Structure 1
Amino acid sequence: MTRYGFEVVRDVHIGEVGDVGSHESIAGAIGNTPLVRLNRVAEGLEAAVYVKLEYLNPLGSVKDRAALSMIEAAERSGELRPGGTVVEATSGNTGIALAAIAAARGYRSVVVVPDKSSAEKVALLRAYGAEVHVSPGSRPAHHPEFVRNVARRLAEEIPGGWLAGQYDNPANPAAHRATTGPEIWTQTAGAVTHFVAGVGTGGTVSGAGEFLKAVSRGAVQVIGADPETSAYGGGDGRAWYVESVGHHLHPETEVDQWPSSYHRDVVDRIERVGDAEALRVLHRLSRAEGLLLGGSSGTAIAAALRVARPLGPESVVVVIAPDSGRSYLSKYFDDDWLGRLGFPLLREGTEPTVGVALTIPLDGHVRTVPSRATVAEARALLGGAPALPVLLQRKVSGPAQIAEVLGAASAVTLDRVPDTDPVTAHLSAPLPVVGTTDPISRAAERISGYAGPVVVAHEGRGVTLVDATEIAAAGVDYRGR
């Protein structure tokens, strides 16, 4: 026995868990993904932390399992017939898996994604032949443009259409109860003590968690990883930047319905992880462990490291890494995207950043106009300012999330319209955004030709407004040195 209580994990090969070899179709290659131990990132921890690399599924994510399970269940029930069309609402990965499996089985696929999905995911969907519909991600659940409502409508309109409905399809958690959980138990020789997974639809944490709790007679603790503002962990549902995890809640949503794929009674506790922490962990994983992982993996692994911190050498923490960072190279691994929002950069330079050059208070809050304000109320809030960003109004006030900016309330525009009009009927375009971690010359170039107030973001939240001339002058000053 090793100090962790088992010998299998360190030397395990995928073939020891399941049959690896020739398959009759892509479906046969799904599952049996390896565990990899974290070393440098977990330095100083006594507990062992292992990552289950779900991006090694043939279609690139943990959603391969649920997609196959849902399609096969629909075929057995007769809901999906030969020549039919698979329809789904997704942030990307489930749609990619459904589209590929559908292509292999002769079905057509139609996928609805929110507009915050990465360009790489949309390109992959189209590569597999899916018809892609992009819908605004900031719609309340009852709105006709809400992604799931669009998918439901399309499934009803298309002859032979079948809505996969991962959020409420029992075949989603069943896939993980039948495959993911048993794999983890076998790979660790039953030594796993803590299981960590992000909560999106809830299928992975529920299904695998149910199996591990049952087989261990309740000994395995199940921990859900959740974005800081997600409603699952007690946040108010404000937008965040890590894709494919959490539960966003629009303030105008009439009834907040959680997915039935998420079995709350399985989860012992939730660890809430902010975007910046998740991204820092992502960057460390790629550079210290050689693991290029997606955003939700950063959230889950950050939570797993927290879980492991107080544990002793007898503990084994297993965490799900849902997908690869290759689907997010234009976001989480791109300094232009990171800097514009004030997130930590991959490559720190010698040039002063916006935060340093303009002495930006990182704990500040941008003054904003609520989305439900009237013109008269908005004019009073402006208080002489030329413009203020308008954000979704929530019951609990908080920092301005840049992802929720609707547009700008302009003093000039509002002076010309009736007091009782809703301010949302008279908005200019959203104000430009630069980040505190942006090199000052790049920020100045980004807003070149613009005159007026600019939102400065730190870790995705607006911390102050500055005039474009201040940024331009600081950029000129730096270049003139």
Structure 2
Amino acid sequence: MNFPGVLPSPLQAIGGTPVVRLRRVVPAGAAEVLVKIEGGNPTGSYKDRMALAMIEGAERRGELTPGRRVVEFTGGSTGSSLAFVCAVKGYPLSVVSSDAFSPEKLRTMRAFGADLTVVPSDGGRVTPDLFDRMRAEVERVVERDGAFWTDQFNNTDALDGYTALGQEIVDQAGAVDAFCGAVGTGGMLTGVAAVLRAAGEVRVVALEPATSPVLTKGTNGPHTVEGTATGAVPPLLRSGGYDQALAIDEPEARELALRLVREEGVFAGTSSALNVLGAIQVGQELGAGHTVVTVAADTGLKYLAGSLFA
């Protein structure tokens, strides 16, 4: 039967998220701050875009064939997104993550049927050595099972998913003066920036927590902003891919997360609040008459077990 308006697959529900204008948390005299609400994706994260792009890229090249296991290490959202995509497509999935990341994300991976390995953290903090230990677990799965490693930090297929995000911003907001985004794999900032720059002149600003200022100071450190600052400059953050880097205060971002949900109705996590705080700072520098865009990377529903909204 034909059902007009009905999607043939849940995978086609990825994307098409709204952009909203912030009204109350932006100081007077600053530029307009617009936020792309990526919590509207099926698993509540923009990583759905990346997960689908990586899996379908591997399928096109013949690297991923029916029944082959997929594996990745992740701070949570990528694992949830891969678990969703692999469940729909029928691939077995092994995910390596850590107790440094929200239990909601870990439970989501298991709910979609992923085999999950949890690597202990240093007191719940995100540290560079944590990623080294997770990567070692992935290498064991690859060797044992012949699994396909999506390798999100090096996989250029991810950019295909994020260029679609950038095109949506152009279609929804038109020409903008600046775009801000926190750096994890660097794929989102790189993919979106390429589209925005093709549409006009735009300042691209990379954001990171001030406690791990790799881009701004060349040093790293522990932090609790999930999905960001792995302790090194990621390969997908191409040379010249951004114009400026800003280190953002994590406690101030956490306070803003509560203001965003209570004053703006934007329910998102710590990295999203870091994005908005960075966008506000850039907006204050640019001043009235300009427009800054950023992304609410995921839904606040992923952070209810922690202290963010307590």
TM tier relative to shorter chain: over 0.9
Alignment of 1:245 with 2:231, yes or no, is no
Contact 1:198–1:320, Cα closer than 8 Å, also in 2: no
For residue 379 of structure 1, what is the aligned residue in structure 2? Answer: none
Deviation, 1:142, is: 7.9
Contact 2:127 2:222 in 1 (8 A): no
CA distance in 2, matches of 1:144, 1:25: 33
Aligned to 2:259: 284
Structure 2 gap ranges (5+): none
Q: 2:9 aligns with which of 15, 25, 38?
A: 25
In the other structure, the counterpart of 2:61 is 77
Q: Please state if 1:147 is matched with 2:130.
A: no
Kept after mapping to 2: 8 A contact 1:67/1:172: yes
Q: Distance in 2 between matches of 1:141 and 1:40?
A: 36
Residues 345-394 of structure 1: CA deviation (Å, up to 9, x unaligned): xxxxxxxxxxxxxxxxxxxxxxxxxxxxxxxxxxxxxxxxxxxxxxxxxx
* Superposed displacement of residue 45, structure 1: 3.5
1:234 to 2:217 alignment = yes
Residue in 1 aligned with 2:100? 116
AA in 1 matched with 2:55: I
What stretches of structure 1 of length at least 5 have no aligned partner? 1-19, 249-255, 336-481
User: 2:150 maps to which residue?
Assistant: 164
Distance in 1 of aligned mates of 2:189 and 2:128: 23
Which of 1 and 2 has higher RCO (CA within 8 Å, sep 6+)?
A: 2
3-state SS of paired residue (1:292): coil
Offset, 1:261: 1.6
Q: CA deviation at 1:115?
A: 2.3
Q: CA deviation at 1:286?
A: 1.1
**CA displacement 1:391-431 (0-9 Å, x = unmatched):** xxxxxxxxxxxxxxxxxxxxxxxxxxxxxxxxxxxxxxxxx
Please give the residue correspondences for 1:332-343 in structure 2 after superposition, counting only pairs within 5 Å: 332-335=307-310
Equivalent residues in 2 for 1:202-281 (5 A)? 202-216=186-200, 219-230=201-212, 231-234=214-217, 236-248=219-231, 258-281=233-256
Q: What displacement does 1:152 show?
A: 2.4
Change in Cα spacing, 1:140 to 1:310, as seen in structure 2 (3 Å) is closer
Letter matched to residue 318 of structure 1? V
Q: 2:260 is paired with a residue of what secondary structure?
A: helix
2:30 touches 2:280 (CA, 8 Å); kept in 1? no
Q: In percent, how many aligned pairs have the same letter?
A: 37
Q: Write out per-residue CA displacement over residues 106-152 of structure 1, whole angstroms, 9 at most, x where no aligned residue.
A: 11111001220111111111111111101134598789961122112
The offset of 1:156, in angstroms, is: 2.5
Once the two structures are TM-superposed, the CA of residue 81 in structure 1 deviates from its matched residue by 0.6
CA distance in 2, matches of 1:58, 1:202: 22
Q: Comparing both structures, which one devotes a greater share of its residues to helix? A: 2
The CA deviation at 1:234 is 1.9
1:197 positional shift? 0.9
RMSD, aligned CA: 2.0
Match of 2:252, SS state, is helix
- Match of 2:136, as an amino acid? N
Matched residue of 2:276: which SS? helix
- What residue in structure 2 maps to residue 65 of structure 1? 49
Return the offset for 1:292: 1.3
Match of 2:277 among 302, 325, 330: 302
For 1:150, the aligned partner's letter is E
Between the aligned partners of 2:155 and 2:110, the Cα distance in structure 1 is 24
Matched, 1:185 2:170: yes
Contact 1:155 1:163 in 2 (8 A): yes
1:29-70 Cα distance to aligned partner (Å, 9 max, x none): 111111011001114144211100011111210101110000
AA paired with 1:183?
Answer: E
4+ long deviations beyond 6 Å: 139-145
Equivalenced residues, count: 303
8 Å CA contact 1:143, 1:149 repeated in 2: no
SS at match of 2:180: strand
The alpha carbon displacement at 1:334 in A equals 4.8
Counterpart-to-counterpart distance in 2, 1:158 and 1:233 = 40
Is the 2:189–2:206 Cα contact (8 Å) retained in structure 1? yes
Larger Rg computed on CA atoms? 1
Match of 1:328 among 265, 288, 303: 303
Structure 1 CA distance for aligned equivalents of residues 180 and 56 of structure 2: 27
Alignment check: 8 A CA contact 1:229 1:238 kept: yes
Return the TM-score normalized by structure 1. 0.60
Q: Residues 212-253 of structure 1: CA distance to partner in whole angstroms, max 9, x if unpaired?
A: 11221xx111011110022233252110111111133xxxxx
Q: Is the 8 A contact 1:136 1:146 kept in 2?
A: no
The residue matched to 1:148 in structure 2 has which SS?
A: helix
* Structure-2 separation of matches of 1:283 and 1:334: 6
Change (3 A) 1:165 1:309: same
* Structure 1 CA distance for aligned equivalents of residues 131 and 36 of structure 2: 37
Structure 2 vs 1, CA of residues 228 and 111 (structure 1 numbering), >3 Å: closer, same or farther?
same
CA contact (8 A) 2:70 2:148 kept: yes
